[in-house]
C-alpha cells in the first residue's frame, strides 16, 4: 500500500525559485572533497568503453568508499553535486551487493536506503536522472542480483519468490499481473524494448481504467499489485516521454510517490525488473544540462536601457545575440502599422548537416533574406563564418531545449523570431506572407506554427514567435519543466495566448513521408517546404533508426554536379520538381475531422542499440 508520505515534500520543494539554471553536471562546483569534473569524465569514459560494470572499476569504487559510511559527508556532497553523489552511491551499492550482499540485504541496507532517498525523495527529477551526462542509467545495471535469487538460502530468493510481491493470482479485470511480468522478462531477455511486448496488456481497457483512476484520484488510489503497478506506470511513462511529453510529467509526479516508498531491494532486485524499466523510460543519449544562456536572460524580462548595454553584462551567447540584432541579424518590418524587428533563426550541428549549411544560407540570401541567424557549435560557426554576410552565433552546448532558448532570448531582446528546422527549403521570402497572415486575423496571433496536412496535429518545424509579455511567459514553463522540473505551475505562469496554424496545404507544407503529410495545389504558392529528413533521431535517440530517404538534402541543396553551374542548377530544379510531384496529394487540401494521435511504435522502424549483459538475464 502506498502511503504518499512524501507528497508534501515534493509539492513544496518543486515550487522553489532560483535565479539561474542548476549546474547538474557540476562543472562549476568548487569542492574540497571531490574533483567533480574529473570524476564525471572518468565515469563517462568507463561507461562508454563498457568493458566492465561501473561498480567494479577500482577508481570509482575507491572514491565511493571514501564517503559512503559518513552520512554527514554524503549530505555535503549532495549539496554540492546531487547527480554526482547519486552516481557514487550507485557505485557503492553495486560494489557492496556484489561482494557482501549475496545472502542478506543488511550489509548494504544503509547505502541502498540513502541512494533511494536521494533519487526519489529529494528535489531531483526522474527526467534529469535519465538524461544527465553522469552515467546513472548505466550504473543501474546490477543483473547479478537476479542470480542471487537462485540460492534458496538467501533473502533474495525469499523476496523474489514471495507470492505477494509476484502478485500471484491477482488480476486487473481480465488481465492477470503475472502475464505482464512474463512479458517483461521475455522482452528483457531478448534485448528488446519492453513496450513492444507489453503493448496489448498496458493498453487493455481494464488497465486504462486503472490509469484514469490513478491520475484523477492519486491520493485515494490503492493498487492491488503494487510492484506490477509501478512497472505499468514506468512503461506508460516511457511511452509519453517520447510521444506525449506534456503528459509525461503527470506520470512522473505519480511515479515519484511510488518510487519513494520502495526499498532498494525492491527497486534493484524485484522480479518486476523495475531498475531496468526505469532505464527504458528515456532512450535519449546523455544530455549536457548546460544552456549557455544565463537563467536570468531567459526566465525574466531584462531590465535594460538599450540592447547595446547587454554586450557588457550578459552571457557570451546572449551578448552575441544582442550584437547580431544590432547588425544584420534582425530587420524592421511593419504589421498593422507597427514597426517591429524580425529574425529567422536555425539551430544546427553535426557533420551530416554542415555539408549543406553553405547552400542553406545562400538559398535564403538569394531570396534577399539576410536576417537569418545561424546558431550552432564551433564547427557550425566556422562553416557559417565562411559565408559572406552570414549571421553566425556560437552556441556550444548540444541541447534540444535550444529550440526554446533561442526564440525566448530573441523575444527578450524585443525581436520577433521565426524558428526554422534545418530540413526545410524556402521557395520565396516568407516575410510578406507572414505579414499578410498576421494581418488577416481580427486578433493578431502571438504564435504561429506549422500544421499537418491530413489531421489536427501541429509540427514545430516552423514556428513564429511574436515578442509579447504573454507569449514570453507562456514559453518560460518549458525551461521550468526541463530545468526545475515542476509538474505544474501557478495559473499566472500559463497565460492564454492568441495562436494559429500556418497553412499546411501549400504555403508551409511538407513531404508525404507520413500518412497525414504532403501538399496540394500549385507549387508556385509554396513558401517554405519541410522535407522531413528524419535523421535527427540518429543524433538524439539511442536506437538504430531506419531513415527511409537520405537524399532529401542532396535533392534540394546540392548545387554542384561536376558540370557548368547552370547545368547543375537546372538539374537541381528538375529534381525538386520531380520530388514535389511525387509528394503532391491533389489540387486542394480537403477539410479533415481527423484528430491528432501519437504514432504507435509499430509504425516506426526502431530497434534498441544493443546493451551488453541484459541478454544473459534468467529468472530465478
In this predicted model, what pLDDT tens digit does every residue of 23-39 receive, in sequence order? 888 988 999 999 999 99
Tell the CATH superfamily of the 307-583 domain.
Spore Coat Polysaccharide Biosynthesis Protein SpsA; Chain A (3.90.550.10)
The pLDDT assigned to 446 comes to: 97
Three-class HEC string of 201-226: HHCCHHHHHHHHHHHHCCCCCCCCCH
Q: Which of 239, 230, 238 is nearest to 270 (CA)?
A: 230
Res 4 pLDDT > 50:
no
The pLDDT assigned to 541 comes to: 45
Strands 171-172 and 338-347: unpaired
- Residue 307 sits at φ, ψ, to 5 deg, of -60, -35
Rounded CA separation 184/86 (Å): 26
CA atoms within 13 A on the CB side of 608: 19
The pLDDT assigned to 147 comes to: 85
Rounded CA separation 25/110 (Å): 26
Beta bridge partners of 510: 530
CA atoms within 13 A on the CB side of 572: 20
Rounded CA separation 15/533 (Å): 39
The pLDDT assigned to 190 comes to: 82
Share of the chain above pLDDT 70, in %: 83
CA 605 vs CA 125, 326, 457, 548, 558: distances in Å: 30, 46, 21, 9, 28
Only one residue has cell 511529453, namely: 245
| Structure confidence by residue, pLDDT tens digits, 272-323 | 999 989 988 876 555 566 788 887 788 777 655 555 555 557 889 999 999 9
- pTM, to two decimals: 0.69
Rounded CA separation 79/221 (Å): 34
| Structure confidence by residue, pLDDT tens digits, 213-247 | 988 888 889 999 999 999 999 998 888 876 666 67
- Report whether 492 contacts 480 (CB < 8 A): no
In the chain, list all ranges with CATH 3.90.550.10.
Answer: 307-583
584 DSSP 8-state letter? B
| Set of cell numbers at residue 62 | 575507491
| Set of cell numbers at residue 76 | 555535503
Q: Which of 369, 463, 471 is nearest to 421 (CA)?
A: 463
Rounded CA separation 523/433 (Å): 15
- Report whether 288 contacts 44 (CB < 8 A): no
DSSP letter string, 119-187: HHTSS--HHHHHHBSS-HHHHT--THHHHHTTSTTSHHHHHHT-HHHHTTT-EETTEEHHHHHHHHHHH
Please tell me whether residue 618 adopts helix, strand or coil conformation.
coil
Q: Which residues contact 16 (CB under 8 A, 6 or more apart)?
A: 123, 484
Strands 447-451 and 528-530: unpaired
Rounded CA separation 230/234 (Å): 6
- Report whether 173 contacts 180 (CB < 8 A): no
| Structure confidence by residue, pLDDT tens digits, 358-401 | 999 999 999 999 999 999 999 999 999 999 999 999 998 887 77
| Structure confidence by residue, pLDDT tens digits, 439-449 | 999 999 999 99
Beta bridge partners of 393: 375
Rounded CA separation 325/415 (Å): 8
Say how many residues make up the chain. Answer: 620
Rounded CA separation 382/358 (Å): 11
The pLDDT assigned to 223 comes to: 92
| Structure confidence by residue, pLDDT tens digits, 570-617 | 999 999 999 999 999 999 998 887 877 544 434 434 444 444 333 334
**Range from 24-28, 460-464, 536-540 carrying the lowest mean pLDDT:** 536-540
- Report whether 501 contacts 458 (CB < 8 A): yes
**Range from 253-257, 300-304, 563-567, 570-574 carrying the lowest mean pLDDT:** 300-304
C-alpha 204: how far from its chain's center?
A: 27
Count CB-CB contacts under 10 A for residue 277: 24
| Set of cell numbers at residue 120 | 526519489
Torsion on CA atoms 533, 538, 542, 543, rounded to nearest 10: 70
Rounded CA separation 491/493 (Å): 5
Please tell me whether residue 347 adopts helix, strand or coil conformation.
strand
Strands 372-376 and 391-394: parallel
Rounded CA separation 572/71 (Å): 67
Amino acid at each position: 500500500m502506498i502511503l504518499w508520505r512524501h507528497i508534501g515534500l515534493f509539492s513544496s520543494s518543486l515550487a522553489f525559485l532560483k535565479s539561474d539554471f542548476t549546474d547538474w553536471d557540476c562543472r562549476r562546483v568548487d569542492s574540497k572533497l571531490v574533483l567533480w569534473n574529473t570524476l564525471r569524465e572518468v565515469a563517462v569514459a568507463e561507461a562508454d568503453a563498457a568493458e566492465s560494470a561501473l561498480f567494479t572499476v577500482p577508481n570509482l569504487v575507491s572514491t565511493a568508499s571514501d564517503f559512503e559510511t559518513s552520512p554527514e559527508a554524503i549530505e555535503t556532497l549532495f549539496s554540492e553535486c546531487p547527480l554526482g553523489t547519486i552516481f557514487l552511491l550507485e557505485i557503492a551499492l553495486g560494489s557492496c551487493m556484489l561482494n557482501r550482499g549475496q545472502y542478506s540485504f543488511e550489509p548494504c541496507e544503509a547505502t541502498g536506503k540513502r541512494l533511494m532517498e536521494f533519487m526519489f525523495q529529494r528535489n531531483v527529477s526522474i527526467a534529469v536522472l535519465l538524461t544527465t551526462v553522469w552515467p546513472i542509467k548505466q550504473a543501474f545495471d546490477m543483473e547479478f542480483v537476479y542470480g542471487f535469487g537462485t540460492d534458496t538460502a538467501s533473502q533474495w530468493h525469499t523476496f523474489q519468490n514471495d507470492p505477494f510481491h509476484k502478485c500471484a493470482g491477482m488480476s486487473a479485470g481480465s488481465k492477470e499481473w503475472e502475464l505482464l511480468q512474463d512479458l517483461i522478462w521475455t522482452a528483457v531477455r531478448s534485448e528488446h524494448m519492453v513496450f513492444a511486448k507489453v503493448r496489448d496488456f498496458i493498453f487493455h481497457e481494464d488497465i486504462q481504467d486503472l490509469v484514469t483512476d490513478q491520475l484523477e484520484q492519486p491520493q485515494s488510489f490503492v493498487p492491488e499489485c503494487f510492484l506490477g503497478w509501478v512497472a505499468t506506470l514506468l512503461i506508460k511513462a516511457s511511452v509519453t516521454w517520447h510521444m506525449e511529453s506534456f503528459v509525461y510529467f503527470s506520470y512522473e509526479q505519480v511515479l515519484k510517490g511510488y518510487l519513494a516508498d520502495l526499498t532498494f531491494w525492491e527497486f534493484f532486485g524485484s522480479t518486476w525488473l523495475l531498475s531496468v524499466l526505469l532505464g527504458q523510460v528515456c532512450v535519449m543519449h546523455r544530455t549536457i544540462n548546460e544552456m549557455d544562456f544565463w537563467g536570468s536572460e531567459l526566465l525574466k524580462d531584462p531590465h535594460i536601457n538599450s540592447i547595446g548595454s547587454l554586450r557588457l553584462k550578459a552571457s557570451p551567447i546572449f551578448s552575441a545575440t544582442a550584437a547580431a540584432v544590432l547588425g544584420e541579424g534582425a530587420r524592421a518590418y511593419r504589421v498593422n502599422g507597427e514597426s517591429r524587428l524580425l529574425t529567422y533563426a536555425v539551430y544546427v550541428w553535426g557533420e551530416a548537416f554542415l555539408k549543406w549549411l553553405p547552400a542553406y544560407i545562400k538559398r535564403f540570401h538569394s531570396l534577399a533574406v539576410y536576417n537569418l541567424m545561424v546558431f550552432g557549435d564551433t564547427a557550425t560557426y566556422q562553416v557559417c563564418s565562411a559565408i559572406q554576410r552570414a549571421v553566425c552565433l556560437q552556441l556550444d552546448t548540444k541541447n534540444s531545449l535550444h529550440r526554446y532558448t533561442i526564440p525566448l532570448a530573441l523575444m527578450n531582446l524585443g525581436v520577433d523570431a521565426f524558428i526554422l528546422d534545418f530540413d526545410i527549403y524556402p521557395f520565396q521570402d516568407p516575410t510578406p506572407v507572414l505579414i499578410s497572415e498576421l494581418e488577416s486575423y481580427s486578433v493578431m496571433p502571438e504564435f504561429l506554427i506549422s500544421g499537418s496536412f491530413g489531421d489536427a496535429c501541429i509540427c514545430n518545424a516552423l514556428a513564429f514567435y511574436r515578442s509579447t509579455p504573454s507569449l514570453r511567459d507562456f514559453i518560460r514553463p518549458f525551461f521550468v519543466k526541463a530545468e526545475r522540473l515542476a509538474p505544474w505551475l501557478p495559473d499566472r505562469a500559463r497565460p492564454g495566448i492568441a495562436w494559429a496554424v500556418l497553412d499546411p496545404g501549400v504555403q508551409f507544407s511538407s513531404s508525404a513521408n507520413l500518412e497525414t503529410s504532403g501538399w496540394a495545389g500549385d507549387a508556385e504558392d509554396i513558401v517554405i517546404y519541410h522535407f522531413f529528413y528524419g535523421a535527427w533521431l540518429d543524433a538524439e535517440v539511442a536506437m538504430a533508426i531506419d531513415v527511409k530517404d537520405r537524399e532529401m538534402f542532396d535533392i534540394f541543396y546540392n548545387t554542384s554536379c561536376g558540370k557548368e553551374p547552370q547545368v547543375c542548377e537546372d538539374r537541381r530544379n528538375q529534381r525538386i520538381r520531380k520530388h514535389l510531384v511525387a509528394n503532391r496529394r491533389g489540387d486542394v487540401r480537403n477539410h479533415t475531422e481527423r484528430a491528432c494521435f501519437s504514432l504507435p511504435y509499430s509504425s516506426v522502424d526502431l530497434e534498441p542499440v544493443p546493451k551488453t549483459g541484459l541478454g544473459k538475464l534468467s529468472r530465478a
